[in-house]
């Protein structure tokens, strides 16, 4: 089997993000360092020397019975902690270079993780709206290419999947879970018993204060609104920081409106806002809803309205999308509704994006049954 996975297993986790990847990468785009050949594992059988495409039903085992222990943390806090039961049936598609392959059905049998745990389908075999038709395959000889065109071989446990995007199915794609270079995980087989691991620590960048509610929406407003409560401040043009304003309402069912406008010709920019509700998640986002008083280089100003709002504490997040007339992005904020107290600039010029440390620890085992 020839593929585009040259010693990139330690960084291949980008495939866990919600988009597909294929194995059509130009070999010159990959860089590989020579590695020593790993000794053959004692499998109790001679390795399969046939690395061609396996026809349907040609694999030596027809059933897989196994489980995965899936654990992850974010900044040291427990995120996922699940035990997953795996059931595999003989893979009915073609699998180039595979000694065996199974279509996998997975079910969480024990879950001690947090409520917002999201497990990567390629590692958990739990399908979601984008990833489906998950499979597991073992490739004893996977050829990879270096930057200089050299060829190296690996022994690889892989996950296959189809990717759904706007009504179209793409795939199957293949994700390397564990390989003989042990860059992110290990794989072993003794007789018909297999074990594998996947361990990874990585940094992820995320926009702060952007937790979405289940009913999050985009503002459909087409006009600015007045406001009995007003404030003003400025931002950077690049959009690396934002301001957070807060207010409190005591009347449930009231209508709230929020508008941001530019302040002068030389400080005009393209602003955007979102409103966070009493449960600390984002309700609605606004951008390009009406013509600013002072035009930015491009785009328009935001406004939003929430009917039948809940009583409680709210936050308005104001950020820049660029298109600045000068070096400073100045704005005026207006809020209208039954506010109790003042409109306060709670946080001024805070970093818009932050990094979090994610750690994945996956242990899997299974029995192959004829």
Residues 6+ apart with CB under 8 A from 293: 261, 262, 301
Confidence at residue 54, expressed as pLDDT on a 0 to 100 scale: 58
Percentage of residues in the chain having pLDDT higher than 70: 84
Confidence bin at 57 (pLDDT 50/70/90): low
On the question of a cis peptide bond just before residue 317, with omega within 30 degrees of 0, the verdict is no
How confident is the model over 345-366, as pLDDT tens digits? 999 998 888 888 999 999 999 9
Confidence bin at 27 (pLDDT 50/70/90): very low
Q: Taking Cα atoms as reference points, which of 127, 137, 126, 144 lies closest to residue 175?
A: 137
Higher-confidence position of 102 and 212: 102
Q: What rounded mean pLDDT belongs to the chain?
A: 83
Q: Taking Cα atoms as reference points, which of 154, 138, 116, 195 lies closest to residue 362?
A: 195
Q: Which domains does the chain have, with CATH numbers?
A: 9-206+356-369 (no CATH), 209-351 (2.60.120.380)
Q: Taking Cα atoms as reference points, which of 345, 347, 224 lies closest to residue 288?
A: 224
Dihedral over Cα of 108, 112, 117, 121: its sign: negative
How confident is the model over 84-141, as pLDDT tens digits? 999 999 998 888 889 999 999 999 999 999 988 999 999 999 999 999 999 999 999 8
What the block records as the tokens of 22 is 């294929």
Q: How far is CA 149 from the centre of its chain?
A: 32
299/325 Cα distance (integer angstroms): 12
Dihedral over Cα of 178, 180, 181, 187: its sign: positive
How confident is the model over 150-193, as pLDDT tens digits? 777 888 999 999 999 888 999 999 999 998 777 788 999 999 99
122/51 Cα distance (integer angstroms): 23
pLDDT mean over 11-20: 36
This prediction has a pTM of 0.61
Confidence at residue 19, expressed as pLDDT on a 0 to 100 scale: 30
Residue 46, SS3?
coil
């Amino acid at each position: 089997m020839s593929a585009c996975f040259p010693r990139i297993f330690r960084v291949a986790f980008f495939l866990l993000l919600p988009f597909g990847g294929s194995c059509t990468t130009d070999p010159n785009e990959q860089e590989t360092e020579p590695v020593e050949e790993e000794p053959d594992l004692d499998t109790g059988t001679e390795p399969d020397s046939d690395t061609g495409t396996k026809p349907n039903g040609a694999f030596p085992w027809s059933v897989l019975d196994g489980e995965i222990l899936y654990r992850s943390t974010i900044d040291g806090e427990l995120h996922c902690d699940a035990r997953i039961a795996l059931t595999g049936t003989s893979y009915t598609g073609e699998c180039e270079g595979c000694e065996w392959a199974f279509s996998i059905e997975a079910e969480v049998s024990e879950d001690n993780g947090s409520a917002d745990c999201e497990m990567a389908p390629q590692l958990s075999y739990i399908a979601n709206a984008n990833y489906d038709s998950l499979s597991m395959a073992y490739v004893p000889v996977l050829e990879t290419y270096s930057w200089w065109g050299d060829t190296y071989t690996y022994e690889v446990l892989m996950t296959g999947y189809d990717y759904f995007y706007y009504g179209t199915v793409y795939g199957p794609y293949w994700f390397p879970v564990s390989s003989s270079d042990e860059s992110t995980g290990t794989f072993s087989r003794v007789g018909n018993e297999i074990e594998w691991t996947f361990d990874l620590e990585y940094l992820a960048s995320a926009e702060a204060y952007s937790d979405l509610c289940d009913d999050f929406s985009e503002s459909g407003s087409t006009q600015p609104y007045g406001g009995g409560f007003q404030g003003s401040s400025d931002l950077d043009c690049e959009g690396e920081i934002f301001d957070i304003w807060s207010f409190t309402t005591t009347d449930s069912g009231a209508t709230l409106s929020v508008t941001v406008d530019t302040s002068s010709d030389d400080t005009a920019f393209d602003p955007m806002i979102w409103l966070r509700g009493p449960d600390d998640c984002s309700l609605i986002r606004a951008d390009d809803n009406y013509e600013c008083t002072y035009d930015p280089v491009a785009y328009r100003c935001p406004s939003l309205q929430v009917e039948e709002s809940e009583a409680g504490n709210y936050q308005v997040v104001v950020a820049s999308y660029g298109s600045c007339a000068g070096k400073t992005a100045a704005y005026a904020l207006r809020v209208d509704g039954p506010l109790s107290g003042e409109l306060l600039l709670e946080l001024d010029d805070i970093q818009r994006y932050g990094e979090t440390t994610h750690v994945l620890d996956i242990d899997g085992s299974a029995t192959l049954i004829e």
